[in-house]
Chain A
Amino acid sequence: MSDNRDALWQALQEVKDPEIPTISLVDLGMIHRLQVEGKRVTVEILPTFVGCPALDIIRRDVRKRLLRVEGVADVEVKFVYHPPWTSERITEEGRKRLASFGIAPPRPAGDNPMDIVPPCPYCGAEGGEIQNLFGPTACRSIFYCRRCRQPFEGMKPV
Chain B
Amino acid sequence: MRVESAAEAAKISGYREALTELLFQLADDELVMGHRDSEWLGLAPDIEEDVAFSSIAQDEVGHSVYYFERLHELGETDSDRLAFDRGADRRRNAVVLERPNGDWAYTIARHFFYDVFDQIRLEALSTSGYVPLAHGVTKIRREEHYHLLHMRLWFTRLGSAGGEATERMRRAVRDLWTEIGGLFSLGDAESRLLEFGIIPIGAAELKRRWEDQVRPAFEEAKIPWPGSPAVPEIDGRKGEHTSDLERLLDSMTEVFRLDPAAKW
Interface, chain A (partner B; CB < 8 A):
49-53, 81-82, 84-86, 113-114, 131-138, 142, 156, 158
- Complex contact B51–A158 (CB within 8 A): no
| Contacting residue for A113 out of B56, B61, B66, B145, CB 8 A | B145
Residues from chain A with a CB closer than 8 A to the CB of B146 are 133-134, 156
| Contacting residue for B51 out of A49, A135, A156, CB 8 A | A135
- Give the secondary structure class of B's interface: helix
- Please report the C-alpha to C-alpha distance between residue A133 and residue B149 in the assembled complex, in whole angstroms: 9
- Please report the C-alpha to C-alpha distance between residue A21 and residue B61 in the assembled complex, in whole angstroms: 25
- Complex contact B52–A132 (CB within 8 A): yes
- Please report the C-alpha to C-alpha distance between residue A156 and residue B142 in the assembled complex, in whole angstroms: 10
| Given A82-B135, A156-B146, also A51-B65 (CB < 8 A) | yes
- Complex contact B138–A50 (CB within 8 A): no
Q: Determine whether B143 belongs to the interface, using a CB cutoff of 8 Å to chain A.
A: yes
- Complex contact A50–B62 (CB within 8 A): yes
- Complex contact A81–B136 (CB within 8 A): yes
Residues from chain A with a CB closer than 8 A to the CB of B139 are 50, 81, 84-85
A-B contact pairs, 19 of them (CB 8 A): A49-B62, A50-B59, A50-B65, A50-B139, A51-B65, A51-B143, A53-B62, A81-B66, A81-B139, A84-B135, A84-B138, A84-B142, A85-B139, A132-B52, A133-B150, A134-B55, A135-B51, A137-B55, A158-B142
| Contacting residue for B143 out of A49, A113, A135, CB 8 A | A49
| Given A133-B149, A133-B150, A134-B51, also A50-B58 (CB < 8 A) | no
Give 1 or 0 for each of B25-61: 1 = CB within 8 Å of chain A CB.
Answer: 0000000000000000000000010011011101111
Residues from chain A with a CB closer than 8 A to the CB of B63 are 50-51
Q: Determine whether B165 belongs to the interface, using a CB cutoff of 8 Å to chain A.
A: no
- Please report the C-alpha to C-alpha distance between residue A113 and residue B153 in the assembled complex, in whole angstroms: 13
A83 → B minimal CB distance (Å): 9
